[in-house]
Amino acid sequence: MKDRYPLFVHWYKTLDWILSAVERFPKSVRFSLASRTADAALDAMEGVVEAIYSKNRGYLLDRFNLRLEKLRVFFRIAHDRRFISTRQYEHIAESIDQAGRMAGGWKKHAQTDRRSF
């Protein structure tokens, strides 16, 4: 059923990429930056699942966007510290931006549906 939600499908693939990327971070940051990045990405997935099963999606989608902002910062740090390449940074930045646009569209659609009742 969750496969009917484009944000779920997109974030599932993005999450897989993120988890693979942070596994390759240096040992010295595994319990700091890598862990925080993975946790934020997993928390974002939890938020998507909660939004699927909730009637109050607006708040959950706002929380999802907040987690995306955190991920943007974490990946910028990872890029600046050369834990990921410029190409990887561009890829994840685009994936995060796309997820944000999808969440915004979903939120707008949910608000429109509520007004029609």
Kindly report, residue by residue over 31-71, the tens digit of the pLDDT.
999 999 999 999 999 999 999 999 889 999 999 999 999 99
The H or E element that residue 99 is part of is helix 86-115
pTM of the model: 0.90
pLDDT at 3 over 90: no
- Closest C-alpha to 11, from 110, 104, 98, 109: 98
Give the SS3 label for residue 100.
Answer: helix
- The whole-number pLDDT of residue 1 equals 59
Q: Which CATH architecture has domain 2-115?
A: Up-down Bundle (1.20)
Domain boundaries, the chain: 2-115
